[in-house]
Amino acid sequence: MIARVIRPEEKDKYNSVVTHPLQSWEWGEFRQKTGVKVIRVGLFEQEKMVSGYQVTFHPVPKTSYTIGYLPKCVSPEETMIYSLKKIGQENNCIFIKLEPNVGGFYPLNQQQQDIQQNLKEYLKESDCIPGRPLFTKYTFSIDLTRSEADILTAMKPKTRYNLRLSQKYGVEIVDDETEKGFEEYLKLTFQTAKRQKFYAHSPDYHRKMWESLAPAGMAHLLKAVYQGKTLVTWVLFTFKNILYYPYGASTLEHKEVMASTMMMWSAMMFGKSQGCRVFDLWGSLGPQPDPKDPWYGFHHFKEGFSPQLVEFVGSFDLVIDPTIYKLYNLADDLRWKWLKFKAVLPF
């Protein structure tokens, strides 16, 4: 097998061998628009592309170093690791964070356990160290090949009740991919981020994402409307017959009409209409979550739709410069400790 950089005219072939929207050609185009360097590599058997990946390179402030990020990639093997090390060296990279799209339903069966354990051992032998995750190790998955009746029956009783209540109130779900609809989504996103005290990318980031993915038919925008007022708005991705829920926002108004429940149900029906087989809810807390976790409420909301828990192999740092890597981790640990300390200060 050989590895080489992908040419623009190979876009369709590249998209045919990757497995996640974060590895899609369109996502790479979006990241380039934000000023991030993107390198796409194809893995070939003779002249046939059998796999591929794209890495984003992020500069370390006030240094000449970069950090590579490779989310939701195929299972790494010898040719891929060799090419990643070469690319990392060429881009003065400290390490490349790998988060393989290798997972199975929790609890993993013996075959899945063996696959993940063998991959972990191989990565360790290839200069990879378990690292701080950027993408969650777990997600929720809903089977959309079932009938609407079966999906509804599988839901938790309280969730079914909330859905009926939302239907009774007349909450309407609208597919609104207009500029006005997107700006409404942005407004609610930053209201939600401020209210729930979580990090949100800049408006420019979201706009460039939408401009890159929506024309390709990968990004979709749904909003829940009640009495002429938008209460909830979601951006969904579709890729390889899988529906993804990466971004959502809501207002505190009219919580009694359960608009988010109606949105989730409608998103599933939208996915079925698009021919999607699976709905990936883009992350969860994993088994036995801590009710005190700040994300527990969101996790619990998703649980009401009786999804299956998926466990991925995890996050690994392919170390390119071992000495600088140690110094970087020391500084990064101090940074996280300061952020946690700052979060509990009374001012």
Residues 6 or more apart whose CB falls under 8 angstroms from that of 93 comprise: 57, 65, 66, 67, 68, 87, 320, 321
| Sign for the pseudo-dihedral over CA of 156, 158, 162, 164 | positive
Residue 67 pLDDT > 80:
yes
Indicate if 139-310 has the same CATH topology as 2-135+314-343: yes
- Residue 190 has what pLDDT? 87
For domain 2-135+314-343, the CATH architecture is 3-Layer(aba) Sandwich (3.40)
Q: In this structure, which amino acid lies at residue 7?
A: R
pLDDT tens digit string along 219-239? 999 999 999 999 999 999 999
pLDDT tens digit string along 167-193? 999 999 999 999 999 999 999 998 888
- Residue 340 has what pLDDT? 56
Of the ranges 65-79, 96-110, 300-314, 333-347, which one carries the lowest mean pLDDT score?
333-347
Give me the percent of the chain exceeding a pLDDT of 70.
96
Domain ranges of the chain: 2-135+314-343, 139-310
Residue 332 binned pLDDT confidence (cut-offs 50, 70, 90): confident
Round to whole Å and give the CA distance between 168 and 313: 43
Residue 12 pLDDT > 50:
yes
- Residue 191 has what pLDDT? 87
Question: How much is the average pLDDT of 51-55?
Answer: 97
Residue 346 pLDDT > 60:
no
For domain 139-310, the CATH architecture is 3-Layer(aba) Sandwich (3.40)
Say what the pTM is: 0.93
Residues 6 or more apart whose CB falls under 8 angstroms from that of 294 comprise: 196, 197, 198
pLDDT tens digit string along 279-301? 999 999 999 999 999 899 999 99
Residue 84 pLDDT > 70:
yes
CB of 204 closer than 8 Å to CB of 220: no
Residue 59 pLDDT > 60:
yes
Residue 341 binned pLDDT confidence (cut-offs 50, 70, 90): very low
Residue 334 pLDDT > 70:
yes
Residue 302 pLDDT > 90:
yes
